[in-house]
């Protein structure tokens, strides 16, 4: 078996999963590799982007076959941007808060008591015990956008807040649980939902159908220059505009996204794929800050993110569109006690071991403080005390 010297360098273990990224010059070539991967295994999680493909596999044999397929297509692995973000919530009574978050996110409970997106698209939520009392509001909360029918079914108490969407868990942690909407009124986009992103999820009956839908979607998006996100999961194809990217000021193209959505819907239906309207979901992290530019600069450096192209928008994004977006808003400077209180929520960043120290150094250089260090693990705080844990993960072997 060809191993570390030839294919092992392609792969890294992130959160226990062998993961690789292969650069591609366009959605067309990325979708071609995705199709080859589906021929190897239907159980692989594949994310197709305009700049490349991320594959997450469950065995060494599959990893080797994927690397071989990429090599045959002339695509090269690039682990430099591999990372996986998760959210950690600390609670004096994890069993009390866990059901709240499982309902809010519509996540699955794993054997360790953590909550994970069944589609492996949105960040995991890990709940850990603490004895520290933190009575004031967090400066970090989650936004979760789901189809209206799903939001109406949750039993989390009456929503509050200025927009009537805020729910609060037993510890006082907040989530804005926002109902989505149809992308438009036309039957031509009936499969699509606006959940901050425009998303359509299609059930498929075979890897060949998945492959054909991914290829058709990539071709349609490539023709108009739109960087569509295409995620392949067992029996499922997710077509995603990315947050706000269906709006003209976000993508900067001479394009009505609803026109592209209609063509994508027609292609999916022609191939026999069936839309599942319950599945679209969007998750983002919201950070309150007294000095938004300073805090935002830290997170840009620490996560290797890029700013939204619109000057008025505080969002920062994973350049490969594989991890959760972060949004920043200004906090009232009079809330001094709240600003001093340590958050009950923090972010964990898993990166390859050969990149971890450089990422920590970038975070510190951008105004962060190194609070603690152990083998393969660094605790860093941003300029206002919001915490990031960087964890180093080794090569797949």
- pLDDT for 250 beyond 90: no
What is the CATH number that goes with domain 84-180+281-393? Answer: 3.10.180.10
Q: Are 183 and 194 in contact (CB under 8 A)?
A: yes
Percentage with pLDDT > 90 across the chain: 87
Question: Within 10 Å of residue 61's Cβ, how many Cβ atoms?
Answer: 12
Question: Who's near 213: CB < 8 A, 6+ residues apart?
Answer: 202, 204, 237, 267, 268, 271, 273
What backbone torsions phi and psi does residue 46 show, to the nearest 5 degrees? -125, 130
- pLDDT for 332 beyond 90: no
User: How much is the pLDDT for 92?
Assistant: 95
Q: pTM to 2 decimals?
A: 0.95
- pLDDT for 370 beyond 60: yes
- Among 40, 41, 30, 44, smallest CA distance to 74 is for 30
CA 328/CA 340 separation, integer angstroms: 18
Taking only the tens place, the pLDDT of each residue in 73-125 is 999 999 998 999 999 999 999 999 999 999 999 999 988 889 999 999 999 99
- Among 11, 6, 3, smallest CA distance to 55 is for 11
Per-residue confidence at 395, pLDDT binned at 50, 70, 90?
Answer: low
Q: Which two tokens stand for residue 119?
A: 């589609």
Looking at residues 158-175, what average pLDDT do you find?
A: 96
**Cα–Cα distances in Å, from 130 out to 40, 89, 100, 133, 388?**
44, 10, 18, 8, 17
- pLDDT for 5 beyond 70: no
Could you tell me the sign of the dihedral formed by the alpha carbons of 373, 315, 47, 280, in that order? positive
CA 388/CA 21 separation, integer angstroms: 24
- pLDDT for 2 beyond 60: no
Per-residue confidence at 336, pLDDT binned at 50, 70, 90?
Answer: confident
CA 280/CA 276 separation, integer angstroms: 8
Question: Who's near 9: CB < 8 A, 6+ residues apart?
Answer: 77, 79, 395
**Cα–Cα distances in Å, from 302 out to 255, 272, 328?**
33, 43, 15
Taking only the tens place, the pLDDT of each residue in 194-225 is 999 999 999 999 999 999 999 999 999 999 99
Q: Where are the alpha helices (DSSP H) in 146-226?
A: 148-153, 207-224
Could you tell me the sign of the dihedral formed by the alpha carbons of 128, 133, 139, 142, in that order? positive
Could you tell me the sign of the dihedral formed by the alpha carbons of 234, 235, 239, 244, in that order? negative
Percentage with pLDDT > 70 across the chain: 97
The domain locations on the chain are 11-79+197-275, 84-180+281-393
Looking at residues 17-27, what average pLDDT do you find?
A: 97
Q: Which two tokens stand for residue 238?
A: 């997710």
């Amino acid at each position: 078996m060809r191993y570390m010297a030839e294919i092992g360098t392609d792969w890294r273990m992130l959160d226990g999963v062998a993961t690789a990224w292969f650069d591609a010059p366009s959605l067309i070539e990325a979708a071609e590799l995705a199709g080859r991967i589906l021929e190897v295994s239907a159980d692989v999680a594949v994310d197709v982007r305009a700049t490349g493909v991320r594959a997450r596999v469950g065995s060494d044999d599959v990893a080797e076959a994927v690397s071989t397929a990429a090599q045959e297509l002339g695509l090269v692995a690039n682990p430099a941007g591999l990372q996986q973000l998760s959210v950690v919530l600390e609670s004096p009574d994890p069993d009390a808060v866990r059901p709240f978050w499982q309902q809010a996110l519509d996540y699955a409970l794993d054997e360790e008591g953590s909550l994970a997106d069944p589609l492996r698209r949105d960040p995991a939520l890990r709940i850990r015990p603490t004895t520290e009392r933190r009575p004031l509001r967090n400066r970090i909360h989650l936004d979760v956008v789901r189809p209206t029918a799903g939001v109406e079914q949750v039993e989390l108490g009456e929503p509050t807040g200025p927009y009537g969407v805020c729910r609060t868990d037993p510890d006082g942690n907040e989530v804005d649980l926002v109902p989505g909407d149809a992308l438009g009124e036309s039957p031509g986009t009936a499969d699509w939902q606006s959940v901050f992103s425009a998303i359509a999820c299609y059930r498929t009956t075979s890897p060949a159908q998945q492959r054909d839908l991914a290829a058709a979607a990539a071709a349609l998006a490539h023709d108009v220059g739109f960087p569509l996100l295409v995620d392949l999961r067992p029996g499922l194809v997710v077509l995603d505009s990315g947050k706000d990217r269906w709006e003209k000021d976000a993508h900067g193209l001479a394009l009505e996204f609803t026109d592209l959505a209609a063509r994508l819907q027609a292609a999916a239906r022609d191939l026999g794929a069936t839309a599942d309207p319950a599945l679209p979901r969007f998750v983002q992290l919201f950070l309150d800050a007294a000095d938004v530019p300073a805090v935002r600069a830290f997170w840009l450096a620490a996560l290797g993110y890029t700013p939204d192209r619109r000057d008025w928008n505080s969002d920062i994004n994973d350049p490969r569109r594989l991890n959760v977006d972060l949004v920043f808003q200004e906090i009232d400077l009079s809330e001094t006690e709240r600003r001093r209180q340590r958050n009950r929520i923090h972010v964990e960043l898993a990166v390859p071991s050969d990149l971890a120290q450089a990422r920590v150094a970038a975070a510190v250089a951008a105004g962060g403080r190194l609070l603690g260090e152990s083998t393969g693990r660094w605790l860093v705080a941003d300029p206002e005390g919001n915490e990031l844990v960087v964890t180093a993960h080794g090569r797949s072997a």
